[in-house]
Each structure stands twice: as C-alpha cells, then as structure tokens.
Structure 1
Amino acid sequence: MIVDVVVNQVYLPFLKDETRYQIFFGGSSSGKSYFLAQRAVLDVLEGHRNYLIVRNVLRTVKKSVFNEVIKSIRNMGLSDLFVINQSDLVITYKPTLKQILFAGLDDPEKIKSITPIDGVITDIWVEEATETKYEAIKQLDKRLRGQSKVKKRLTLSFNPILKTHWIYREYFGGWDDTKRFYRDENLIILKTTYKDNDFLEPDDIAALENETDRYYYEVYTLGNWGILGNVIFTNWEVQDLSEIRQTFDRFNNGLDFGFAEDPSALAHMHYDRKRSTLYILDELYERELTNDQLAKKLKRMIGDQIVVCDSSEPKSIKELRNFGVRAIPAKKGKDSVNFGIDWLKRQKIVIDIRCHNAKEEFQKYKWKEDKDGNVLPVPVDRDNHLIDAIRYGCEELMDMKPKLKAAIRF
C-alpha cells in the first residue's frame, strides 16, 4: 500500500526503531507528538502492532492524542480503512482488526482490562509523561507481555520540567546535556525543539524565540530540563484522594475566567481546619468555553454548591447565575494576591493525583526577579489560573483567623 505521509526529517530514523524504551522530549512545537501519532498509524497498517495510548487523566485524552491520531489518519488519506469509535476511544484498522486503544491512568482497573481484538498490546505510548507517577509507568511496562511477531515498546513523550522529576532520575543517568541523542541496549532518548519542525508558522516561531522568562525559554523554547528557583509554594504534595474524599461534607469552590489563551479554571476543594490542610479534589481547566458551556460543566462537577468567581467579570458571573450556577464575586481588595499567597503558604496543601494542572501550577509558580536576579515580593503573573481560583474559593477561610483573634481580644 502506498501511503501519502510527510514526516519531519529528524524523526525518520525512528519510524522502525524497536528499542524497548523510547523517550521523545524537548521544546514546544517540536512535532514529537504528531510524529508518534503518525508512527502509530503506520505501525498498525503493517498488521503486527496494537497500541495503547494513555495520558494521566482520561478527560484530557480525547482533545489531545486521540484527535492527533485521527488527524494523522485523515492527512494520510486513510479514513475509509479505519473505524473510529468516539465514545469508547478505540480506532480499528478494518483489514486486520489491529487497534489503537486510548485510556487514562486515573482508571487503573480499566487499564488492566484493556485488550485488543486481535493479538496483544505491543506498544504503549504515554503522552505528557511528566504528569504521571513512577508506579503507573511501571505497571504499564508490565502490560507489555504475551506472544508477538514484533518487539514490544514503551514510549514516553513530554516537555521537560524540573530535574527533580522521577523521569530524569530513572532514565537520564547516561544523558549528556550537550547532546541531543542517547542510545544504549534498551533505551533511546531524542531531544527536539521547534527548529526540528518544518511545518511551523512564522508567528509560532516568533512566540517561542521572543520568550522573556528564563525558565520558560530554557524548557519550552530550548527543550532543556529546568532548574526553577524562587518557587512560591513548597508546602504541597500529591496523593490519591479517591477514598478520603468520600468522608468530606463541606466544600469550597473558586473560578478564574478564561477563554482563548487562558483557560477557565475551577478548583473544587475541602479544608480541614483542625489540621490546617487544604485538599484540592478536582479541577476544570479548559479553553474556549462559552458561559453556557462552562455552566453545564460546573453543575456536573459541583452541583448546587457556591462558587466564588473572579469579580473582574460581573457579566460572566450574572450569566452563570442565569444558567443556574450559584456564582458569587470574590471580594479581592488591596494586596489580596499576596495575602492569599501568604495564607496558602501556611497550610498543608494536598493535591489529588488527577489534578495535574494544579500540580504543574504549584510546581512552577514563582516570584519575579529584577534585572540583577534579586527576588521581588511580586508573583509572576503566569501559571496561576487554578491558584487564583483557589484563592477566590478560600476567601472565607482566610477571614476566619482575623475574626477569631478579634473575638478573643474582646
């Protein structure tokens, strides 16, 4: 079969590579995810491979890797040869029944039961692998078993974040930061950047090259592992809150509005006053939601609970109310940002394992620096959509201690 496919030059040597562990990482817009989607389609066409493609959270799969694979199929002119099941997130190649299956790591029981129609899973691709936990990847590795005509592969793709991440410790022992490729008997690592993508538009390139934040330039433009100084929050951890959340009966919700570049961000929380512990139970983090769409999602997530919203958008708050959401404006006030940060820094913060956007924000949120590198008491206005939502949702909690002190004083 002749297939019309154009692959970025840097990835061509890896179309047929059968090394057991494969890592494709680097900067934004480097084309790594699209290449892996192309490879998955081409591998299934050959008739010996079944794919399982995962992300940490199921609800992020459809709008990312699932659509990426469908795009590859269409661009190759192969739509008539595949059955695409949108509800089950399964793509089947008609002539051989080989499949590309999709799942989220937040449903481990489902992962265990996933089986292709014909043969075994030969390839597992973990997109945005830095969102995942070490234990989850080890469990996926164990899924690669059973008789197969081809060697099995576990592939990770991601933008690097911090060198403290378990992926760096686990796989990058032999890595040389001055090189862009590593190979040993069981592992290959390829680093790419936007310069390796021949299909970028000039404005995409300009946005990456004109990045002024040092950390973002290193990580997202140059594709380097970052070392982030001046982080604001170090008092947080990630846990699986599936069981303990069932014991909570009081909740706080905060909402930061967004649309195009910035996401609408909801934080659904519980606060344990005795232990000064804030639990981040769930999150909404989605762009291009109109207010009616946002209202539907909010009602599914928090029902008739009150949600405290960014008061700078009174029109949106009113529309949410008209759609049945109990939305109220945040009070904010002078120095409310730093006041909220100070309060949050004095709590223990526990983030549910499924809230990867909250985890990333807490990992990256940092103080500004002056031109000489001195730290300023002003947060960088970036990576803070959920953190802002958390501050709004916790306003009433922040007011409690001053009131209590006043009561004691009198």
Structure 2
Amino acid sequence: MTTTKLSDVLAPSFRPVHDAIRVGQYNQFVLKGGRGSTKSSYVSVEMILQLIRHPEIHAVVMRKVANTMRTTVFAQYVWAITELGLYSRFKPTVSPMEITYRPTGQKIMFFGADDPGKIKSIKVPFGYIGLLHFEELDQFAGEEEIRNLEQSVLRGGPIALEFKSFNPPRTAINWANKYCLRDKPGQLIHHSDYRSVPVEWLGQRFLDDAHYLKSIDTAAYEHEYLGEANGTGGMVFGNVHSRKVSEEDIIVFDRIYDGVDWGYFPDPFAYNRCYFDAARRDLYLFREATMYKAGNRKTADKLIEMGVTENDRITADSAEPKSVADYRSYGLYCHGAEKGPGSVEYSMKWLQSLAHIYIDPARCPDTYREFTEYEYERTKDGEIVSGYPDANNHHIDAVRYALEPVWRRRGR
C-alpha cells in the first residue's frame, strides 16, 4: 500500500497500538505523553492508513481553535503522506482545509471547535465519517464538549475509530488528566515519551536540551519530556506518582498496612492497603474500597472478599469505637487510631516528606484522585491558607491511619 516500512515512521512504543487496531481490539485511543514522543506523528500516519484501508469512510481532524490548524495538525498530516511515499495520491488544499485521496475521493477534513456551525453541517460526497482525531485534547472545554462533537461527527456506519492526543497539563486536576483515569470499554490509554523514539529522529540537540533540563529541574523535565502531571502550585502532595503495581510486586511486599476511614453518606467508607519501603522512603498504595450507604457488616464482608484476614491489622478512625468493635466481632483484627493533638499535621507532613507516593490509578482510582486533587485552601486574593482542608480526603485519612505505626515510630 505504501512505499515506506512502518518501522520507518512509527516509533516502537506505538506498534502495539497499531496492532490493536489491526485486530479490532479497541476503537478509541487516548494518546498522551511528553515532548518528542511522536504521538501526533503516529496518529496522522494511522489515520491515513485506516482511510486507505476502508474506502467507504472519511476523516475529521479537530483542534479547539481553527486558526491554529494550518501550521500545526494540517502540516503534520501533509508530512505523514509524504513520509509514507503517498504524496502523489493525495491532494491537500487550504480553502477548504482538507486532504483528498485521489483514487477514491475520500477526504480528511480539518475543523476548529470554535466554529460549531461548520461541524454540524459537514457533508461528505459518499459513505460516512468513520475517523476522528482530537489534537491537543486538553485545550477543549471538557468532556461535555467532546461528547457533543463526537455526536455531531460520528454518525452511521460500522467503523468508528477515534484518537485523542495531548501533552498532559501539569496539574492533575485538569479534566483531560482526570479523563485518562476512566476505565471506558473499548478505549485504550497510551503513554509515551521521547526515550522510546530512535535517536536519529530527534537529533542530538533535542537530547542535550532534555538532559540539561533534567540536571537543573527534575520536576520540569518530568512534566515536559516525560509527560507527567506533576504540578504542585497549591497541591498538598507534590510527591505523588502514577505507577502500575503488579501482582508480582505485591507478592514481595513484606510489611502491609491497612487503614479505614468510617463513612456512610454523604461521606463514603474508605479503605486502603499500603506498603512502605523504609529504605527508600517510598509508599505504595495498591488497594482500595469506597462504599456509600453501607453498614459495618457489609463493608467488613467487602474487605474479607478482597482478601483481608484476621491476621491483617486494620487501623481505623477511633472516633467510632462501636464500628471498631463491630469489626472485631466479625473476626477482623481492627483497632482505633491513637490520634491525639497534632497528629493530623504531623502525619500529613510525614506523607509530604516521603520520596515518592506511588499510586496505581487502575487499582485505586478514588485514592489517586484524592491525592492529586487535594489542594490548600486560598483566600479571596489567592493566598494559600495554612492547614489542611478537611474535605474530599477520606482515602487520605485511611492511609494516615494505616501508617500510624510507622510515622509515630519515626519521629513523635
């Protein structure tokens, strides 16, 4: 089909994505990553390959603002057809901004979301629109805007492949970063960075700049080049990192800690299981339970179902001694946290002082959301208020209780 080998235009990290499309494993792809990861290059190549493979469909490419299209994503697609050795088969035009596949008349059309009238009135000469690419996803207004655009563009036909690409904003509470935590059927979340890209594609200057930034500002390097949402600003926990925790990892964890924050409604019951690597001062959060309107018997049964046994010590909020007693009557080794004056401040500062707090967002989505969205309160003038907000911190409290034997032993 093309005069170029795929290995010449696809970085190794994107080959599994290409193969997943080929076998029909997913139909929606969220591609996030750092500078130089080639995710936009990959999407432009894949869209063209899929257009040729399916002669009955057309494609739409969107950015938030139309006047940025020509020198960015449109130029990227022209690059892709050139690199694939297919330029003679395509006809790019800028008014209207589209690329036509000459053998069939299929079109790749480019639109900005700031002109919704054009989007709603899209007409194709035959077939239907089966390919959609949102470039710079985080620049759109949010999930509702994306859904509205999807509904306007993807109508009819058995094929509907969708790509969303972006560099994660620094703050974890940005809607696009939170969107990547959703486990949506048929959707693959893929993260990439420049380290999987052939050196000759990037050039020595790119690598030198990356290494220099890493040497002077690790946090900026991790955000810009590795695509990590590691911004601090008003965030309480600047040491939180997303990390997959496998069953192989869990098997070798030798000191496990369990914590419970009692709740019913509107506050939830929150449970967490943790591992603390004392030598490296790294904390791993890899299991959670969040339940609403559930009594003590039901939450206890849930923990037992998750593998908690009578030998696992659970440290729970001591403000509810009856709940602690209920758990003990159910055969769980539960006791109340000691708490005491200053315990909240000390335990929070201890968590902030750790080298890393690793949270598996697939295993612990609620915990990850709490830790990454937990921010200091501010005055009306934007000044940060000292102290820790007592809101949306149920799993944070469960973790504090779980690790009370550690932080009390290490400094109080």
State the TM-score, normalized to the length of structure 1.
0.51
Is residue 50–residue 121 contact of structure 1 (8 Å, CA) maintained in 2? yes
Alpha-carbon shift at residue 204 of structure 1 (Å): 0.4
CA change 1:163–1:230 in 2 (3 A) is closer
Alpha-carbon shift at residue 32 of structure 1 (Å): 0.4
Counterpart residue number, 1:96: 104
**Residues paired across the two proteins, number:** 222
Counterpart residue number, 1:227: 231
Matches within 5 A, 1:46-57: 46=53, 47-57=55-65
Counterpart residue number, 1:87: 95
Q: Structure 1 residue aligned with 2:15, among 12, 22, 29?
A: 12
Deviations 1:209-254 (A, max 9, x none): 22133442121122111223269xxxxxxxxxxxxxxxxxxxxxxx
Is residue 124–residue 140 contact of structure 1 (8 Å, CA) maintained in 2? no
Q: Does 2:136 match 1:136?
A: no
Q: Structure 2 residue aligned with 1:26, among 33, 54, 69?
A: 33
SS of residue matched to 1:223: coil
Distance in 2 (CA, whole Å) between partners of 1:205 and 1:80 is 34
Q: Does 2:190 match 1:190?
A: yes
Which moved further from structure 2: 122-131 or 7-16?
7-16
CA change 1:202–1:48 in 2 (3 A) is farther
Alpha-carbon shift at residue 41 of structure 1 (Å): 1.4
Counterpart residue number, 2:117: 109
Matches within 5 A, 1:397-408: none
Is residue 208–residue 217 contact of structure 1 (8 Å, CA) maintained in 2? yes
CA change 1:100–1:230 in 2 (3 A) is same
Q: Structure 1 residue aligned with 2:77, among 69, 75, 91?
A: 69
CA change 1:52–1:159 in 2 (3 A) is same
Identity of aligned residues (%): 25
Alpha-carbon shift at residue 59 of structure 1 (Å): 0.8
> Unmatched 5+ residue regions in structure 1?
175-183, 232-374, 376-410
CA change 1:108–1:215 in 2 (3 A) is farther
Counterpart residue number, 1:360: none
Is residue 215–residue 228 contact of structure 1 (8 Å, CA) maintained in 2? no
SS of residue matched to 2:202: coil
Is residue 59–residue 129 contact of structure 2 (8 Å, CA) maintained in 1? yes
Is residue 31–residue 190 contact of structure 2 (8 Å, CA) maintained in 1? yes
Distance in 2 (CA, whole Å) between partners of 1:56 and 1:213 is 31
Is residue 127–residue 157 contact of structure 1 (8 Å, CA) maintained in 2? yes
RMSD, matched Cα: 2.1
Amino acid at match of 1:8: A
Q: Does 2:86 match 1:78?
A: yes
Distance in 1 (CA, whole Å) between partners of 2:43 and 2:57 is 14
Distance in 2 (CA, whole Å) between partners of 1:145 and 1:130 is 20
SS of residue matched to 2:36: coil
Is residue 60–residue 132 contact of structure 2 (8 Å, CA) maintained in 1? yes
Is residue 56–residue 126 contact of structure 2 (8 Å, CA) maintained in 1? no
Distance in 2 (CA, whole Å) between partners of 1:48 and 1:214 is 48
Q: Does 2:58 match 1:58?
A: no
Amino acid at match of 2:194: Y
SS of residue matched to 2:118: helix
Distance in 1 (CA, whole Å) between partners of 2:109 and 2:28 is 19
Q: Structure 2 residue aligned with 1:126, among 121, 134, 142?
A: 134
> Unmatched 5+ residue regions in structure 2?
236-383, 385-412
Is residue 90–residue 102 contact of structure 1 (8 Å, CA) maintained in 2? yes
Alpha-carbon shift at residue 97 of structure 1 (Å): 1.4
Q: Structure 2 residue aligned with 1:168, among 172, 177, 189?
A: 177
Q: Does 2:162 match 1:158?
A: no
State the TM-score, normalized to the length of structure 2.
0.51
